[in-house]
Structure 1
Amino acid sequence: MSAAPPTTPLSVLLGNYPHTRPLKEGTIPVDGVECHYPAFSPLPPAFARMVRDLAFDICEMPTATYLQARDAGVPITLLPVVLVGGTHHRSLTRLPEGPQLSPGQLVGRRVGVRSYGQTTGLWVRGWLREEYGIESSDVTWVTTEDVHVAQYVDPPFVERSGTERVADLLHSHDVSAAVLGPKAIGGQGAGLLPLVADAENAGLAWTQRHGTIPANHLLVVRDGVLRSRREAVHAVYEALKKAIADTAGERDDSPAGRAVAAGWSTSLTSCLEIAGRYALEQGLITQPVDVAAIGAKTAFLGR
């Protein structure tokens, strides 16, 4: 009797976090599945490769990128895992030596952001509209990168800059404020000040009002892989779910610490509903998001 042919390893693109390292290092195995974990640093180019070329089987993906890819018909399915999250009132920044600019004074001004499709920008524009009545079109958004989804065309109130870093737009006085993601806040954004005076409490108030925490990075799988290797996808999910549970002690009680989770929940459903509404309001997508339909595709994973 001939041996069964070897199964092709799954390519799984994950960032480096305490809750992903057990899989990458093999301390938490993926039962019955050989996984290959490509190395990418920084991650954004990998996200673009996934939505443009389906370069990986399973891939970490920003929330806004997923919503735009789904809207464009890219054949990927959301897996219920939040890898990165947190509040974003601190993400809207200004120069410390600049004028005392408040969020309500941004109408008619220029604001830097890595791309109009960046997830941090999605959340920032969402609370700007909710709390200050500022529409996305009230601001000129100056970007340093294209969106990940090739099919998307920026709206007319978005301008592409030749500058490589968002913080440099501030330092050159090309913009009045800048949106910086969680990593950039501690990197190129060092020394910058949030426009919101009490950003931490403002962010906590948002989470209390909405009953969820903004998710920045989720997880997706190629539709073809989900169809042909459902048990393998389930095994990856279960391993990651265990890693998230086992590393809970390494995360604090901040929104960023509490955001990391696996499984369909009221919080995740609310998060996706709000993100979908924001994305539609901001012109990032063309159709309302049916969160129930998204969840139905992976109901077999459980809660």
Structure 2
Amino acid sequence: MSGTHPRAPLSVLLGNYPHTRPLKDGTVPVDGVDCHYPESSPLPPAFARMVRELAYDICEMPTATYLQARDAGVPVTLLPVVLVGSTHHRSLTRLPEGPHLSPRELVGRRVGVRSYGQTTGLWVRGWLREEYGVESSDITWVTTEDVHVAQYVNPANVERSETGRVADLLHAHDVCAAVLGPKAIGGQGAGLLPLVADAETAGQAWAERHGTIPANHLLVVRDDVLRTRPDAVLAFYRALKQAIADTADERDDSPAGRAVVAGWSASLSACLEIAGQYALEQSLIRESVDVAAIEKKTAFLDR
């Protein structure tokens, strides 16, 4: 029998946010493309499946995971979308009844973090070095999970704990401070205090100084999908960009609200430049990041 066959649907892994809801419920359609939206709760195991198995056509991905995947040669391409972001001076926490440590006093001590490749940890270690002169190698990082990219080997100053959650390391006094991501701050981190006294102001100052807001979760597409179905990728990108615009009134003027964007911009380029430099300094990647080359691969999306 002759005739044309419908193209396979795009498998798209996205978290559940106000700006992804219109795609998942069909309010904003993807023109000419059938998209399937598998769920993963929690999200991090899906990130590991993407970089290890290329499990999805398009996938939300943490910034540090993307940089490590790119460094390891995983065949994925960045799409210019920030799904989650914020400043992270409040992410370095301590027990309220514990010692009032300054960030400089972390040298030679143990700090908990979900994994050495967690993006929040990337940003925290970056401002620790930049603002306090504390190198990532000055601290023993105690982790509760492995990094997403299988090829990566942790530095010698990273230890793996069997403790279930990062906050539990702190409550057990195995670490003197803990790095918690945005969701964890309001969850397992309830009651913990930031080491930086005026964390919000410090985060705003970082953002103003650099002209960008730290991105936590970006978006990637498999290289083979981008090569063989560029029109489908473009249609999906346009729909997501529309959904982000349509839900603008659901985001406030906080760094987290302003971080959600689609499209190449000076701010996104600066964010990737800084993240790449931090990742290199922290031995998360081996080679410097060529942001211009990253932009060139998907410049057609905004033409």
Normalising by structure 1, report the TM-score.
Answer: 0.99
Q: Is residue 2:108 matched to residue 1:85?
A: no
Where 1:239 maps in the other structure, the secondary structure is: helix
Corresponding position of 1:76? 76
Q: Which residue of 2 aligns with 1:285?
A: 285
C-alpha displacement of 1:249: 0.3
Q: In the aligned structure 2, how far is the partner of 1:191 from the partner of 1:50?
A: 34
Query: Alignment RMSD, CA only?
Result: 0.8
Matching residue of 1:257: 257
User: Which residue of structure 2 aligns with residue 221 of structure 1?
Assistant: 221
The offset of 1:214, in angstroms, is 0.1
- Counterpart in the other structure of 2:37: 37
Equivalence for 2:6: 6
Structure 1 residue aligned with 2:166 = 166
The CA distance in 1 between the partners of 2:201 and 2:128, in whole Å, is 15
**Cα distance in 1 between the residues matched to 2:142 and 2:72:** 23
1:68-103 CA distance string (max 9 Å, x none): 000000000000000000000000000001011111
Give the C-alpha shift of residue 2 in structure 1: 3.6
Taking the aligned partners of 1:302 and 1:151, their CA distance within structure 2 comes to: 33
Q: In structure 2, the residue corresponding to 1:173 is in which secondary structure?
A: coil
Tell me if 1:243 matches 2:243.
yes
Amino acid at match of 1:266: A
Match of 1:193 in 2: 193
Q: Distance in 2 between matches of 1:190 and 1:38?
A: 30
Q: Which residue of 1 aligns with 2:267?
A: 267
Q: List, as ranges, runs of 4+ consecutive aligned residues in structure 1 with deviation greater than 4 Å.
A: none
Q: Deviations over 1:213-248 (max 9, x none)?
A: 000000000000000000000001000000000000
Partners of 2:242 and 2:147 in 1: CA distance: 33
Q: Distance in 1 between matches of 2:100 and 2:283?
A: 30
- Output aligned runs, 1:115-130, within 5 Å: 115-130=115-130
2:98 is aligned to 98
Residue 64 (structure 1) aligns with: 64
Match for 1:149: what amino acid?
Answer: V
Q: State the SS of the aligned residue for 1:73.
A: coil
Counterpart residue number, 1:151: 151
Code of the aligned partner of 1:219? L
CA distance in 2, matches of 1:41, 1:103: 33
- Please report the TM-score for the alignment, with normalisation by the length of structure 2: 0.99
SS state at 1:61 partner: strand
Q: Distance in 2 between matches of 1:81 and 1:3?
A: 37
Unaligned residue ranges in structure 2 (runs of 5+): none
The equivalent of 2:179 in structure 1 is 179
**CA offsets per residue over residues 40-67 of structure 1, 9 Å max, x none?**
0000000000000000000000000000
* Residue aligned with 1:253, SS: coil
The Cα shift of 1:3 comes to 3.0
Letter in structure 2 aligned against 1:258: R
In structure 2, the partner of 1:17 is 17
Residue in structure 2 matched with residue 299 of structure 1 by the alignment: 299
1:104 offset after TM fit, Å? 1.1
Cα distance in 2 for partners of 1:229, 1:223 equals: 10
Q: 2:33 is paired with a residue of what secondary structure?
A: coil
- Give the unaligned 5+ runs of structure 1: none
Give 1:148 deviation, angstroms: 0.1
For residues 43 and 111 of structure 2, the distance between their equivalents in structure 1, rounded to whole angstroms, comes to 23
Share of identical aligned residues, percent?
Answer: 83
State the SS of the aligned residue for 1:162: coil
| AA aligned opposite 1:35 | C
1:188 partner letter: Q
- CA distance in 2: counterparts of 1:68 and 1:80, whole angstroms: 17
What is the identity, as a one-letter code, of the residue corresponding to 1:211?
G
